[in-house]
Chains A and B, each alone.
Chain A
């Protein structure tokens, strides 16, 4: 069985933490099934990345590189992935979670006549066969499964394994030629932009996820809405704690419907059924109420605490480790003072 690990090379010339995590998972699988690992690199220049992981033990380092592949677009990425899979003669293909692979690999799978699964959160081996674990129905049902069709392409979730660490080493690169196609230029990537103006509030590497619920923009004890103060409290807390900001759907939707809103929120902050399920060691929820979609957004948060006025909150009871029954405005004011004096 031939195993190929596909890694995207950043324009810096190196691999991301997510790519190194995926490499660790691929190496583990390779060891457990007793099949050597091939690495396929894609990017504008791949040599530094190959050196970065040169000591990982892979037997081949294949690379597709050209300036055209600095553009994260479907047509060129799918062509490159197809070429790498064919060159490796791969039966099992693993790739790390990234928007770029998620866009391009399904089409490449069709081209090589394979099967593809995404959001793989664990890889094991049973009877010498790879077993994948993933969630269905948006993190509500978890399943283990295997496939008989090959090649089997799997997109691995971030955090599936510790990031690979090891000394750099020079490797023998095998360049895979992919003729450029003028049709690729129908799509031109113009760049990136932040989803919200001002400070970036989505921080995937943060230790803490702070989730703001709709209660922040509801009438408070004095019968008034205090959205401006709410926004300031949250903004200060994010600055002082370094937390990433998440939001319930109801609060984000207010932003789009012209209600009194928190300007630092966009749909990209939303967690839950139609949002993300981010991975952070800790999570603090404030002014959230309990619904199943909300729980979904917190599936991969290890330590969970909540500040809520309702001691029987369906979200917090049984789902948070600690529920503080208190006014979030008062708690956050004090908390910000304490964090300022650290």
Chain B
């Protein structure tokens, strides 16, 4: 194609997956114990979307990548210290809650408004990227709602592969049921791709990329607008971490033959 892509990646922070999460009641609805103190990472599937975006932009001249993140400003700043070293992007920051119990509709509206205000963004070249669900709300609806608000009617979910073609179109592989991919051909931007893991490994930290990014990241954080993201019209009842403890029977010092026999009976059911 003669002109590059304008790739907007929506991605925010989530608690580090290795942290134990405990729900608590707050004045604004359910939250997590010590939520502000929990170590955060870039949402894993959104991270894959960012790496795919950076790779696509690298291979397509005249392309640009924006990362649009909604989260508490201080935590976004911490997050950017690591994320900014992974891939070149321009940050658009929104200062608000990234909690899992917040309403996807409010989040989608805030993100769509922010994207519409990006200076120099060409809608006809737009590829809207993000994870196909977050590791917090895990709803899988937010990005699609942003796309609908932006008038993007070519949307793909669970994407593992995008292949640009010489005529400006591209093929997409989406995860569907039963370990299958659905393969589609799209005429070109604007389009929305909600990524699964893609096929790229996590890029190594690149301090030069980090330094270049940080020149824009700090001003972007300073400019970030506060947005009120709430639980919306949801009335929560019970919110809990389920009891997981099982009474595990440990079988040891038993010959493999005996274990296999027991397992065979169990498998045959």
Chain A positions near chain B (C-beta within 8 angstroms)? 72-75, 78, 98-100, 102-103, 105-107, 109-111, 115-119, 126, 131, 135-138, 140-149, 183-184, 186-196, 200-204, 207-208, 241, 243, 253, 256-257, 266-270, 273-274, 282, 284, 291-293, 295, 303-305, 307, 311, 316-327, 330-335, 337-339, 342
CB distance from A7 to the nearest CB of B (A): 15
Q: Say which residue of A189, A241, A320 sits within 8 Å of B246 (CB atoms).
A: A320
Q: Mark B77-108, 1 if CB is under 8 A from A, else 0.
A: 00000000000000000000000110111001
B37 close to A (CB within 8 Å) = no
Taken together as a complex, chains A and B put the C-alpha atoms of A73 and B192 apart, in Å, by 12
Question: Which residue in chain B gives the minimum CB-CB distance to A270?
Answer: B197
Once A106-B141, A208-B267 are accepted as A-B contacts, the answer to whether A143 and B30 lie under 8 Å apart by CB is: yes
Q: Say which residue of B157, B196, B241 sits within 8 Å of A103 (CB atoms).
A: B157
Question: Which residue in chain B gives the minimum CB-CB distance to A298?
Answer: B244
Taken together as a complex, chains A and B put the C-alpha atoms of A282 and B178 apart, in Å, by 18
Query: Is B180 a contact of A291 with CB atoms below 8 Å?
Result: no
Question: Which residue in chain A gives the minimum CB-CB distance to B198?
Answer: A267
Q: Please name 12 further chain A to chain B contacts, defined as beta carbons within 8 Å, in addition to the given A135-B138, A189-B183, sorted by A numbering.
A: A72-B176, A75-B154, A99-B176, A138-B135, A142-B241, A144-B237, A204-B177, A274-B44, A292-B17, A320-B246, A326-B251, A335-B260
Query: Is A335 a contact of B30 with CB atoms below 8 Å?
Result: no
Q: Which residues of B contact A320 (CB under 8 A)?
A: 246, 248
Once A141-B240, A196-B179, A317-B248 are accepted as A-B contacts, the answer to whether A326 and B259 lie under 8 Å apart by CB is: yes
B218 close to A (CB within 8 Å) = no
Query: Is A192 a contact of B184 with CB atoms below 8 Å?
Result: no
Residues in B138-180 with C-beta less than 8 Å from chain A: 138-142, 144-145, 147-149, 153-158, 160, 171, 173-180
Q: Say which residue of A183, A201, A207 sits within 8 Å of B179 (CB atoms).
A: A201
Q: Which residues of A contact B247 (CB under 8 A)?
A: 321
Once A109-B141, A136-B101, A137-B135 are accepted as A-B contacts, the answer to whether A99 and B182 lie under 8 Å apart by CB is: yes
Question: Which residue in chain A gives the minimum CB-CB distance to B196?
Answer: A267
Q: Which residues of A contact B254 (CB under 8 A)?
A: 324, 326
Q: Say which residue of B14, B154, B259 sits within 8 Å of A307 (CB atoms).
A: B259
Residues in B221-269 with C-beta less than 8 Å from chain A: 232-242, 244-254, 256-257, 259-261, 263-264, 266-269
Query: Is A194 a contact of B179 with CB atoms below 8 Å?
Result: yes
Q: Say which residue of B44, B236, B241, B245 sits within 8 Å of A145 (CB atoms).
A: B236
Query: Is B244 a contact of A111 with CB atoms below 8 Å?
Result: no
B201 close to A (CB within 8 Å) = yes
Q: Which residues of B contact A141 (CB under 8 A)?
A: 21, 23, 100, 239-241
List of 9 A-B pairs having minimum Cβ-Cβ separation, nearest first: A202-B179, A334-B260, A106-B144, A325-B252, A107-B148, A106-B141, A74-B155, A144-B237, A330-B256
Chain B positions near chain A (C-beta within 8 angstroms)? 14-15, 17-21, 23, 30, 44-45, 100-101, 103-105, 108, 135-142, 144-145, 147-149, 153-158, 160, 171, 173-188, 196-197, 199, 201, 232-242, 244-254, 256-257, 259-261, 263-264, 266-269
Q: Which residues of A contact B147 (CB under 8 A)?
A: 107
Query: Is B149 a contact of A110 with CB atoms below 8 Å?
Result: yes
Q: Say which residue of A143, A192, A270, A293 sits within 8 Å of B183 (CB atoms).
A: A192
Question: Which residue in chain A gives the minimum CB-CB distance to B141?
Answer: A106
Query: Is A282 a contact of B266 with CB atoms below 8 Å?
Result: yes
Q: Which residues of A contact B186 (CB under 8 A)?
A: 186-187
Once A292-B20, A324-B251 are accepted as A-B contacts, the answer to whether A116 and B256 lie under 8 Å apart by CB is: no
Query: Is B201 a contact of A334 with CB atoms below 8 Å?
Result: no
Question: Which residue in chain A gives the minimum CB-CB distance to B267?
Answer: A241
Once A117-B139, A140-B21, A331-B263 are accepted as A-B contacts, the answer to whether A323 and B248 lie under 8 Å apart by CB is: yes
Query: Is A190 a contact of B149 with CB atoms below 8 Å?
Result: no
Query: Is B197 a contact of A293 with CB atoms below 8 Å?
Result: no
Q: Which residues of B contact A326 (CB under 8 A)?
A: 251-252, 254, 256, 259
Query: Is A339 a contact of B259 with CB atoms below 8 Å?
Result: no
Q: 5 A-B Cβ contacts within 8 A?
A: A102-B157, A186-B188, A201-B179, A323-B250, A339-B267
Q: Which residues of B contact A142 (CB under 8 A)?
A: 238-242
CB distance from B94 to the nearest CB of A (A): 19
Question: Which residue in chain A gives the minimum CB-CB distance to B188?
Answer: A186
Query: Is A146 a contact of B145 with CB atoms below 8 Å?
Result: no
CB distance from B179 to the nearest CB of A (A): 3
Query: Is A269 a contact of B179 with CB atoms below 8 Å?
Result: yes
Question: Which residue in chain A gives the minimum CB-CB distance to B253?
Answer: A325
CB distance from A296 to the nearest CB of B (A): 8
Query: Is A189 a contact of B179 with CB atoms below 8 Å?
Result: no
Taken together as a complex, chains A and B put the C-alpha atoms of A145 and B102 apart, in Å, by 13
Query: Is B179 a contact of A195 with CB atoms below 8 Å?
Result: yes
Q: Which residues of B contact A190 (CB under 8 A)?
A: 171, 183-185
Query: Is B179 a contact of A192 with CB atoms below 8 Å?
Result: no
